[in-house]
Amino acid sequence: MEAVNSIYHIFKTARQVSTDTRTIEKGDLFFALKGPNFNGNQYAEEALKKGALAAVIDEPLFRKDENYILVENTLKALQQLAHHHRRQLKIPVIAVAGSNGKTTTKELIRVVLQTTFETFATQGNLNNEIGVPLTLLKVTDNARMAVIEMGARQRGDIRLLCQIAEPTHGIITNTGKDHLETFKTLENTRKTNAELYKHLSKMNGTAFVNIADDDLLREASVVKKIITYGKKEEAVYYGKIESFHPLLSISYKTESGWNLLRSRLTGKYNFENIMAAVA
């Protein structure tokens, strides 16, 4: 924790966190991450020469002075720093997980919230064990909402990302056949995504659930506060498609009556994504 605190002190004065010396700028905080075909420790010196405030490394061989911060594992240090930063943010964090439609749903939610709140969201689909921490570290003190996309390639991924981001609200768009080479079965995919519900249960959080998805409704039963949406009248936010050519228009019902929403999206499949944002 002492290392995280010292790194966080530097982070608060840094321009941003960088993991790539090709795009690094003066005032950045560099993390020397590793991959199958690269070792970021080898680029720490270059990062400092380009103006980085400090370089976080995990191999003593590359440490030359106090500007190199040595940790056991740079990826874990990045995740711990992001978690520590999230703890300083007393705001709702909305997690968006699922097999398909995550990025579209995340963008729709961001656009809706941005009309009222200063909202930060995942850029593109940076939704893995590196992307989520980097997203959190971009959330500034003036933020009032954060929308974090979470992806999974194997069991335990969503659990880890929830531990880092500590979402207060969450939505699983659906369960599909993505990454079956690692998940093997749809049941494994569903259980992995459902780790978000387990987290929300512990946090006394809120889950938004498509009322037409019986499997997700069952998994979400562990969460005390559930807000449903979809085409069934018993949904908290009930909607229907009005037209879909050339663009999708829907109507949805609230306590004050029916509302018409004309989107810039095509395809009936985007109805659930729009209704998630409505909810």
Tell me the pLDDT tens digit for each residue of 80-113.
999 999 999 999 999 999 988 999 999 999 999 9
* Phi, psi (deg, nearest 5) at residue 57: -125, 165
Pairing label, strands 237-243, 119-121: unpaired
pLDDT at position 182 is: 59
Residue found under tokens 């056949």: 177
* Phi, psi (deg, nearest 5) at residue 80: -65, -40
Structural contact between residues 207 and 227, judged by C-beta atoms closer than 8 angstroms? yes
Q: Is residue 178 very low, low, confident or very high in pLDDT (cuts 50, 70, 90)? A: low
190 Rama sector, left if φ>0, alpha if ψ -120 to 50, beta otherwise: alpha
187 Rama sector, left if φ>0, alpha if ψ -120 to 50, beta otherwise: alpha
Nearest to 117 by CA among 100, 93, 95: 93
Mean pLDDT (the chain) is 94
Q: What is the pTM of this model?
A: 0.93
pLDDT digits (tens, 9 = 90+) for 219-252: 999 999 999 999 999 999 999 999 999 999 999 9
